[in-house]
Amino acid sequence: MRIAALVKVAMDPNLMKVEPSGEVSLRQTAMAIAEYDRNAVQAALDLRDKLGGQVAALSASTWGMSSERRKDYEAALREALAMGVDEAHMVLDDSLTGVPLDTARALAALARSLGGFDVYIASEGSSDMVSGQVAPMLAAILGLPAFTYVKRIEPEGGSLRLTRDLEDALETLRASPPLVMSVTGESSKPRLPTLMQIRRAFSKPLKFYSLADLGVSPSGRARRTALRALVQKRKNVYIDGSKPDEAASKLIAALAEEGVIRA
């Protein structure tokens, strides 16, 4: 079975750096495989272990900086290889700016150029943007069925029994490859790679492509015009609790103001 794990090299929100202009620094913020994409990789590896075959990691840049941060993109993909993926392919192009439609198109072109896959596994959303739409978009472009928010994957004969984790229900479906799915954080237990695994994965193939290589171009229908950091990470507002009722009213009013509770 040919399995593709869709991997985003994401900005790490916990290590966000900010330019003096207030923009998130795309140059300095550390990048890594998006957290849930590790689940996608692990789910692909688990499936390979059960059914045999190969896993390729497919990626497309969403943050530009293709030359300045090429090393970081590479390092993140090496992690996927270290986790056990057989090969990695990435569309690295400055004209990809994180518009999900363009990302999905680039990935579809990449997949086609590699001869297509039986199963595509993405995560439900990336840790930096949580757009959550690349998997279904990819399915639509490739003309494949899509199974989103999959929590459990059970091979059953030639098909897969997939359980979707929806807001109010668990939904079980029968699915036959070729197909695209997105998985949740509970779908697998990804193992973080060790330095030694990364080192040992250096011999595995890792290839970069430009959009021109694949003969596609961005839709031009949308572009990211800003990514502004919210100034303060934590507000550190202190409320004196020695008068409990007063403190409670103050806190509840503040939380309602924040829009996180109804008051």
x-marked contacts with other proteins along 148-187 as a string, rule CB under 8 A: xx-----------x--x-xxxxxxxxxx---------xx-
* Member of 20, 52, 158, 240 binding other proteins (CB under 8 A): 240
Residue 26: name the closest of 209, 206, 228 by CA.
228
Q: Of 67 and 242, which has the nearer Cβ to other proteins?
A: 242
Residues 82-101 that bind other proteins (CB under 8 A): 98-101
Q: Does 71 engage in binding with other proteins (CB under 8 A)?
A: no
Q: How far is the CB of 5 from other proteins (least distance, A)?
A: 17
Residue 147: name the closest of 102, 186, 109, 184 by CA.
184
Residues 199-228 that bind other proteins (CB under 8 A): 199-200, 219-228
* Member of 53, 64, 116, 145 binding other proteins (CB under 8 A): 145
User: Cα–Cα distance between 160 and 153 in angstroms, integer?
Assistant: 7
> How distant, in Å, are the alpha carbons of 219, 236, 241, 247 from that of 252?
46, 16, 13, 9
Residue 57: name the closest of 39, 77, 75, 43 by CA.
77
* Member of 109, 146, 153, 216 binding other proteins (CB under 8 A): 146
* Member of 127, 152, 187, 214 binding other proteins (CB under 8 A): 127
DSSP-derived letter for residue 230 is: P
Phi, psi for 150 (deg, rounded to 5)? -80, 130
* Member of 20, 52, 67, 236 binding other proteins (CB under 8 A): 236
Q: Does 27 engage in binding with other proteins (CB under 8 A)?
A: no
Q: How many CB atoms lie within 10 A of CB 141?
A: 17
